[in-house]
Amino acid sequence: MRLLVPAAVLLAVAGCSGGGGGTPPAPSPDAAGIGAAVEAGLLARDDVAAVDFRYKDTATDPASSTVDVTAKPGADPRAIHEEAVRLVWQSALQPLNSIGVNVVDPRDPVRGLSEVVDLLDPADTAPLEERYGPRPG
């Protein structure tokens, strides 16, 4: 007896096999601890009032980190953004495909900044590697 399996089923099963191009980095043993360190690093700044770090690795939001920062009035959102990106970039957080940073000045929301760094895009990663060195891995 022959079993006919639709091609879509075969592709779905093959996609779950774990094979692929290269070995993915080992998952972070303590994403919560890494997030707490990123939050502490930002809270040590005089121009930061509050920080919320989140990490997701789901099918709809793979290997993404988000850092929401409430700046103190008059702070430079670009400087805070760059520090948040540096802290996440230099962390041992694995896997990591993107770093989203949102900086809000509650007294002047227009001065805020919201950007995502796509770590799968060499145009985004090359300047970070040049400035901070390669990611730990």
Residue among 89, 110, 111 nearest 99 (CA): 89
Report if residue 3 sits inside a domain.
Answer: no
Count of domains for the chain:
1
State yes or no: pLDDT of 11 exceeds 80.
Answer: no
Report if residue 109 sits inside a domain.
Answer: yes
CA dihedral 59, 62, 67, 68 (to 10 degrees): -30
66, 100 contact by CB (below 8 A): yes
Report pLDDT digits (tens) over 78-130: 999 999 999 999 999 999 999 999 999 999 888 899 999 999 999 999 999 99
Q: Is the pTM of this model over 0.95?
A: no
The token pair at 133 is 């060195």
Report if residue 56 sits inside a domain.
Answer: yes
**To the nearest whole number, what is the mean pLDDT of the chain?**
85
- Residue ranges making up the domain that contains 31: 25-132
SS3 26: coil
Report if residue 53 sits inside a domain.
Answer: yes
Report if residue 97 sits inside a domain.
Answer: yes
Report if residue 92 sits inside a domain.
Answer: yes
Report if residue 100 sits inside a domain.
Answer: yes
What is the domain-level CATH number for residue 41?
Answer: 3.30.70
Report if residue 8 sits inside a domain.
Answer: no
